[in-house]
Amino acid sequence: MVQVETAETGQGSAGSRDTGSGAWRARIRRAIRIGSRPGPWKRGLVLAALALLLGLFMLLHAKVPNRIGNLGSLAETFLPWFGLFIPVLLGGALWRRSASALVALLMPVMVWLNLFAGLLSDKSHSGSDLTVASHNVGADNPDPAGTARDLAASGADVLALEELTPQARGTYEKELAKAYPHHTVQGTVGLWSKLPLSDTEPVDVKMDQGPLAATKPADVKMAYNRGLRTTVVTDQRPLAVYVAHLGSARVNPRAGFSTGQRDAGAQALGEAVAAERNERVVLLGDLNGTMDDRAFDGLTSQMRSAQDEAGDGFGFSWPAKFPVARIDQILVRGVEPQSSWLLPATGSDHRPVAAGIRW
């Protein structure tokens, strides 16, 4: 009996030693696995790289070349929307628990805020001397009479209309006559005013290009003219007003972002404003581009955006049902924008824009 108990006791001791060594081996393997896992600074390096690239892209957007499909201008047209990639990358960084990605995200956040933070607050002030408005009324607008009544109800002192058709022109003239005793129409653009107008003339925004352009008679060109310049006579000092509807910008597989006609018009407008002798100038119109686009450097170097200076938000105006870009502009020189806002949608595919200015 004694011998058996001793043997059993010996076997039990050996089993205990085996169990103890196995536990130690398990702990060692677990420590190795934990040690081999990437730390928070090594996780999500791809996300960190993407965040840095996004920040650099927004910071250096003016350096993106236009040689291939006008990619630079296309990116600048929708530049504010690149900020949507920030929360996407943030979600990925939190999911990966990546410290490096979170730190890298500070760059695109700071760049975006530097570019657009000023548009997130309401900068409007009361006390304007004159209210101006602009609207691409749309060639396919099914209700020009209703659009005219809505615009007259806005109370604007000066109202610019673009994309007027011969069929709808009479309707606008009739419906706006009571509120605006003075008006001029030059081709497909017009200006209605509560104040007298003088020195009105068409402005060539280069809708005709190529060797045959010079051979077309003036009356033929006037039928599709898209620019005008006039003087609004005020109680203070005269105000030069330009109205323009620049050529369309289109995206297609072969040419990419096609903006040749629009860019030529922007350059022509910039030259016209530079030659303008009146110190007080307002430009109203559908410019088919945002003021972030380098194509408008000739204008933005001389004039200020009323929306940027005195608006609330981005003021996206197109397309009317779900606006993603502000291509309808009010630019000023020599006057102070006090407020800028969007008017209610009409039957057009553009939203009307308005601004209050002060001398």
The pLDDT, as a whole number, for residue 7 is: 46
Give the count of alpha carbons within 13 A of 11, CB side only. 5
- Which residue stretches of 117-240 are H helix? 144-153, 166-176, 218-223
Distance set, CA 50 to CA 59, 88, 99, 284, 294 (Å)? 14, 11, 14, 39, 25
Query: Given 3-state DSSP classes, what are the helix, strand and coil percentages for the chain, each rounded to the nearest 5?
Result: 45, 20, 35
pLDDT number for residue 170:
98
Is the model's pTM score more than 0.85? Answer: yes
Give the closest residue to 312 by CA, choosing from 176, 145, 181, 124: 124
- 39-79: pLDDT as tens digits: 778 889 999 999 999 999 999 999 999 988 899 999 999 99
Tens digits of pLDDT across the chain (359 residues): 445 444 444 455 555 555 667 777 777 666 555 445 567 788 899 999 999 999 999 999 999 999 888 999 999 999 999 999 999 999 999 999 999 999 999 999 999 999 999 999 999 999 999 999 999 999 999 999 999 999 999 999 999 999 999 999 999 999 999 999 999 999 999 999 999 999 999 999 999 876 666 667 777 778 889 999 999 999 989 999 999 999 999 888 777 899 999 999 999 999 999 999 999 999 999 999 999 999 999 999 999 999 999 999 999 999 999 999 999 999 999 999 999 999 999 999 999 999 999 99
Number of H helices, E strands in the chain: 12, 14
d(Cα 312, Cα 354) in Å, to the nearest integer?
A: 12
